[in-house]
Amino acid sequence: MTHRIQRALISVSDKSGVENFARQLSQLGVEILSTGGTYAALRKGGVAVREVSDHTGSPEMMDGRVKTLHPKIHGGILALRDDARHTGAMAEHGIAPIDLVVVNLYPFEATIAKPGVSRAEAIENIDIGGPSMVRSAAKNHRFVGIVTDPADYGRVLDEMTRGEGALTDTFRRELAAKAYALTARYDAAIAAWMNEQEVASGSTTTRFPQSFAMAGTKVADLRYGENPHQLAAFYALGGAREASLASAAVLNGKQLSYNNLVDLDAALALAREFTEPFVAVCKHNNPCGAASAETIATALEAAWEGDPVSAFGSVLSFTRTVDLASAEFLVSGNRFVEAVVAPGFDEDAFRLLVDKPKWGKNVRLLAIGDLARPRDARELEVKKLIGGFLLQERDLAAAGEGDCKVVTRRKPTLEEIASLLFAERVAKHVKSNAIVIAKGTQVLGVGAGQMSRVDSVHM
């Protein structure tokens, strides 16, 4: 069912591309309604636009909290155009149809991600009118197009040009599904933040609410999943408060695979245990080498020596910028890795890695940025089961010297205790049964994933 778009309501927080989009809609004969900052931006850009308060006959009030919550807005969006009772009510109450709704929401996730944000500021960035219009338009997608992503502006214009001012049923259904995914993610972020606030204030004693929701935005479709016959995609959670793969800049290399991402996440989690120069060498979610040292290049060499056979085709994580000495070590001999994640790459190191034959076209280089930000204890770990999932707190604890109880005849030296604590932090990231053998701050051997601890030790 196709209906020519005659009237559009545009109200966006993210104004990228909106002026040009509205101008082209206007040139296609569409009347533009708008509110607040969007109205001001379109008017300043010379776009023919009518203010919503003029359309409804009611002023914006309560600092803009009430502006689109009006029968002339929601009636114009929700009315079924093929139902005589609906069209009769529209005629009786002077409600004009709204055929296209262009809305993106107040930046709640970006707001709560800011350090030191107040509760009042976070609350003011909970959008009410926006989600209401998005849900109304998505529900009535047989007649109304709902656009929540500036990336879709071009597609809307192309469809309208081809369809003599109308959008196809298929496209409207696609936009509606995308719109509900947006509101689901938005509400999930608000619910999670509110529960965190209650936990922090002591109003509740449990971190695990009666209902739990999480939602993300797709970063990329992946070539395949854990195995070639599985489809997969990578999603980012909103409001992230620490460095992660979701926010990393991919500087070089082939497309990241599902297994690359899982391995890199494991390597990064291990690296975050350390603040000194440290390198982890990971394969199949487990470290096969790890070391800390006075310089990052020395740490890399010691980590690689832990298991140079398994290190071929591994992923690496660094707690310092990759320097030229580290890059020279990697490209020498018969060494090769799938991916490297680090705070950054010195220019000469980057050039060596990307210009070296065998390396440049293949190795993925990811800049994670500042690792000094503390790990976020408020974030929960999720383990998917068939028919459900498990939640748990993140394991961010690290044993110190004061946690050690000597039960042997010989008391260990301070150097031995320091080495033990280093190995303990590495063992936390090894799949059980986990055995880590270290000397100083260098891992010499890892036994992982065996049903028997004895077998892990032998390995």
368 contact partners, CB below 8 Å, separation of at least 6: 243, 244, 245, 247, 248, 268, 341, 342, 343
State the catalytic residue, choosing from 15, 139, 356, 428.
139
State the catalytic residue, choosing from 3, 15, 284, 431.
284
Task: Assess contact for 126 and 42: CB atoms under 8 A.
Answer: no
139 labelled catalytic: yes
284 labelled catalytic: yes
Task: Assess contact for 429 and 273: CB atoms under 8 A.
Answer: yes
Active site residues: 139, 284
